[in-house]
Chains A and B, each alone.
Chain A
């Protein structure tokens, strides 16, 4: 097999991190590193690209399809691009008992989207998710973006408005990131 063409490889960028991850598992069990490597690769684009899948497969000496399966099975992994910030509101039973459904509706309304949708500027995706182990602090949500994953607890719709302002990258900044 000829190695697939890759523009910038994960190996180029994250050589040290890859090594640290691989060190956690026995040498002959490299496959164990697939989830941490997907997390790492996903930080980049907010989802996992085809070339990242191939590269992870190659790093771990497994088939690309096996990496795809892992991405597909776990809900924190994304095979497709979404908003820059994924606002994921828990609407599971305990949170719902404390008003999470109405809260989610409010947030959606304020952002002008429906659950599962992304704002027109591509910055926010609002999603309903299952229990996040913060049931006593409902309504709550997590934000997943390039800096990782952050919990926000005991929230109101107003709190979210403030947060959205903070997170929203101004169009100028956006341009900069794109060109830079």
Chain B
């Protein structure tokens, strides 16, 4: 793509953009000034609705619509979801490192549109240093009169605080995240009620992903029409694709939605490490079904709709590539280990099921399994699916069920050979 809208800034600046002066010089915070001084909150919401922006945190829910759902109670809160813990995701971190003010500006506009006077940025605890930096940027914004009381002489006032997580993937799930800010165990809440009605401290709350928010200033500045012109009809705008695993050049690629897997992997990232054959793709970290690297799949546009048409999810677009040498039962063991480790323990199927799948996969991978184990694994996975309190439980079965379906041999060969590598059991 010719223009970087999220990771750098308006295609002009480079590293300097993380400095406030440079960001301002390039027209930064004009969008925020405009909404506070010239637009009503409703107008902002309508504009974002018209832009077609969809949440980048995974579910792809239309952002403007989410903002319009807020219950009519005050105070309200907005929360940036910078928990970024899905294996293979590393985009929000780069946004906050390289283009922090655009994200903060988006968060501030969101707060204005929601009529919230306090915004929290929930960052995973490992982003400790990054949060220190962001905090100093927040102080700069206070000094420039863009945060605090009566911003730009208006009635609007706003504070931004950071809240550090402490190593829990489930806290990326919005209701668990809110529990975590409230000082409780990061376990998901029942829904309904949704955060828009009963969120932080039981008050109406907007939770948006970091990347989602980083899009907002652009929409204000250049309009909904312009935004819709990027990407395709239902999936529009720029999207950061996190490419990892066996890519020759792994990293973040900011492309319009609708770019195909092939373009991304082979044109932009120069193909597969060691020029091996691509075997499979996990398009959304550990959470969505594995796709085989067929031509149909490779030519699938990276949009919310198209990826689900071929049997998986775009999610947060954390694309993990597996080359021909990878044993999918090993990959499934890795993802399962992750979910077992991250299961919050609140609901039975996820808590017990991930543990059971983990045991089975270790048996299988260590060559200690028997022929029944692969089948049993599939049954346990299906036994979890659709019964959990939050989506994590379902996520945990995606790679297992799809892996068994597409690469069944990978799971049974160990039994045949009886020679799996010995894998250490953690805890």
**Cβ contact within 8 Å between A29 and B185:** no
Contacts of B168 in A (CB 8 A): 73-75
Closest residue on chain B to residue A26 by CB atoms: B201
Contacts of B184 in A (CB 8 A): 31, 70
Contacts of A116 in B (CB 8 A): 426
Given contacts A70-B183, A92-B87, A135-B242, A76 and B201 within 8 Å (CB-CB): no
Which residues of A97-125 have CB atoms within 8 Å of chain B's CB atoms?
A: 97-98, 115-116
Stretch at the interface among A3-11, A33-41, A162-170, A172-180: A33-41
Given contacts A32-B183, A74-B168, A136-B251, A93 and B129 within 8 Å (CB-CB): no
Given contacts A73-B186, A94-B87, A130 and B244 within 8 Å (CB-CB): no
Inter-chain CA distance A123–B208, complex, in Å, is: 40
**Cβ contact within 8 Å between A98 and B245:** yes
Contacts of B165 in A (CB 8 A): 35, 74
**Cβ contact within 8 Å between A136 and B166:** no
Q: Kindly state whether residue A148 has any CB partner on chain B within 8 Å.
A: yes
Inter-chain CA distance A76–B322, complex, in Å, is: 30
Which residues of A11-61 have CB atoms within 8 Å of chain B's CB atoms?
A: 24-26, 29, 31-36, 38-39, 60
Given contacts A29-B201, A74-B186, A130-B341, A97 and B320 within 8 Å (CB-CB): yes
Contact with B along A141-153 (1 / 0, CB 8 A): 0100000111100
Q: Kindly state whether residue B106 has any CB partner on chain A within 8 Å.
A: no
Interface residues on B, range: 35 or more
Contact with A along B399-412 (1 / 0, CB 8 A): 00000000000000
The total of Cβ contacts below 8 Å across the A-B interface reads 142
Contacts of A98 in B (CB 8 A): 244-246, 250
Inter-chain CA distance A148–B130, complex, in Å, is: 12
Inter-chain CA distance A92–B243, complex, in Å, is: 15
Inter-chain CA distance A96–B342, complex, in Å, is: 18
Closest residue on chain B to residue A33 by CB atoms: B183
**Cβ contact within 8 Å between B335 and A93:** yes
Contact of B124 among A26, A133, A148 (CB under 8 A): A133
Q: Kindly state whether residue A134 has any CB partner on chain B within 8 Å.
A: yes
Contact of A133 among B93, B161, B251, B282 (CB under 8 A): B93
Contacts of A77 in B (CB 8 A): 166-167
A131 to chain B, nearest CB (A): 4
Q: Kindly state whether residue A69 has any CB partner on chain B within 8 Å.
A: yes
Interchain residue pairs A-B with the least CB separation, the first 5 = A75-B167, A74-B166, A31-B183, A136-B250, A135-B244
Contact with A along B166-192 (1 / 0, CB 8 A): 111100000000001111111000000
Q: Kindly state whether residue A128 has any CB partner on chain B within 8 Å.
A: yes
**Cβ contact within 8 Å between B180 and A97:** no
B324 to chain A, nearest CB (A): 12
Q: Kindly state whether residue B88 has any CB partner on chain A within 8 Å.
A: yes
Contact of B245 among A26, A94, A132 (CB under 8 A): A94
**Cβ contact within 8 Å between B331 and A132:** no
Closest residue on chain B to residue A73 by CB atoms: B185
Contacts of B320 in A (CB 8 A): 93-94, 97, 135
**Cβ contact within 8 Å between A130 and B126:** no
Q: Kindly state whether residue B163 has any CB partner on chain A within 8 Å.
A: yes
Inter-chain CA distance A131–B334, complex, in Å, is: 11
Q: Could you jot down 23 A-B contacts, CB within 8 Å? A: A29-B183, A31-B184, A32-B163, A32-B182, A34-B183, A35-B163, A35-B166, A38-B166, A39-B125, A62-B183, A70-B185, A73-B168, A75-B168, A76-B125, A77-B166, A92-B334, A93-B88, A93-B338, A94-B88, A97-B322, A97-B326, A133-B89, A133-B93
Given contacts A69-B185, A149-B125, A39 and B166 within 8 Å (CB-CB): yes
Inter-chain CA distance A31–B89, complex, in Å, is: 30
Q: Kindly state whether residue B109 has any CB partner on chain A within 8 Å.
A: no
B359 to chain A, nearest CB (A): 18
Q: Kindly state whether residue B252 has any CB partner on chain A within 8 Å.
A: yes
Q: Kindly state whether residue B85 has any CB partner on chain A within 8 Å.
A: yes
Q: Kindly state whether residue B90 has any CB partner on chain A within 8 Å.
A: yes
**Cβ contact within 8 Å between B125 and A74:** yes
Given contacts A75-B168, A93-B87, A24 and B250 within 8 Å (CB-CB): no
Closest residue on chain B to residue A60 by CB atoms: B183
Contacts of B243 in A (CB 8 A): 136
Q: Kindly state whether residue B267 has any CB partner on chain A within 8 Å.
A: no
Q: Kindly state whether residue B149 has any CB partner on chain A within 8 Å.
A: no
Inter-chain CA distance A35–B169, complex, in Å, is: 16
Closest residue on chain A to residue B162 by CB atoms: A24
Inter-chain CA distance A75–B242, complex, in Å, is: 25
Contacts of B61 in A (CB 8 A): none
Contact of B90 among A34, A129, A135, A149 (CB under 8 A): A135
Q: Kindly state whether residue B86 has any CB partner on chain A within 8 Å.
A: yes
Which residues of B10-40 have CB atoms within 8 Å of chain A's CB atoms?
A: none
Given contacts A36-B164, A77-B166, A130 and B182 within 8 Å (CB-CB): no
Which residues of A65-92 have CB atoms within 8 Å of chain B's CB atoms?
A: 69-70, 73-77, 92
